[in-house]
Amino acid sequence: MTPTLVLMLVAALVVGMLIGCVGIGGVLLTPTLVYVGGLGFHLAAATSMWALAFSPGRRVP
């Protein structure tokens, strides 16, 4: 495993715990994907929205 992948997995774990425990963390996901993951902003924002759409506790209308 590359160091970038390990760092991304650790960041995903921390952000996921923040989202699950206190409801924040989504604001941290996009910058993490941009700066650590090397994704462009638009792709990182879309990935963040896609991930949050499937988080527990969200109602689907």
Does residue 8 sit within a domain? yes
Model confidence pLDDT, tens digit, residues 3-61: 888 988 888 888 878 777 877 766 888 888 898 888 999 998 888 888 777 766 655 55
Is pTM beyond 0.85? Reply is no
Residue 29, Cβ density class (10 Å: 0-12 exposed, 13-18 middle, ≥19 buried): buried
Does residue 31 sit within a domain? yes
Number of domains in the chain: 1
Does residue 33 sit within a domain? yes
Residue 12, Cβ density class (10 Å: 0-12 exposed, 13-18 middle, ≥19 buried): middle
Does residue 50 sit within a domain? yes
Does residue 44 sit within a domain? yes
Question: Domain of 20?
Answer: 3-54
